[in-house]
Amino acid sequence: MRLLPALAAAALLPLLGGCVIYSNEGGEKVSVNVSDQIAAKTEALEAVRKVDFDGQRLNVVVGSNGCTEASSFEVKIKDGDPAELSLTRRTPDLCRALVREGVTVSWTYAELGLESGAAVRVLNPISL
């Protein structure tokens, strides 16, 4: 009977991911989760228009109705080489100003818990 609690704990272990919330220079709360790829595949990932890394900062252009900001997204990172990153919109943009070119949301590597210059792969689909 001692085996049953150990098996239950082992089955739940992948579901227990770490979550860290940072506050960036603009005072926005940034949520970063370290999770497994299965969770990233089950959630609808935000389509991104452009992704830019400079070794210190991640800049992503996303669609917006005028109220999208970095705190609108949950950032999940799966450790690896390269690390895998996914963005999931947590706060819907209910504003009415269509921003044709989209908006740039940005996080520093430090906010994401990444080392400077670390290789990162973005799992979100691209929308042109």
At 89-106, the pLDDT tens digits run 999 999 999 899 999 999
pLDDT band at 2 (very low <50, low <70, confident <90, very high): low
pLDDT at position 14 over 70: no
In the block, residue with structure tokens 């990162």? 120
Interval 27-76: pLDDT, tens: 554 555 554 444 445 578 999 999 998 889 999 999 999 999 999 999 99
- Record the tokens describing residue 104, joined without a space: 């740039």
| Pairing label, strands 29-34, 73-78 | parallel
pLDDT at position 4 over 60: no
Q: CA gyration radius for the chain?
A: 16
Beta-ladder partners of 81: none
Residue-level pLDDT at 30: 52
Residue-level pLDDT at 125: 96
Residue-level pLDDT at 40: 44
pLDDT: is 80 or 42 the higher one? Answer: 80
pLDDT: is 21 or 89 the higher one? Answer: 89
Q: What is this structure's pTM?
A: 0.66
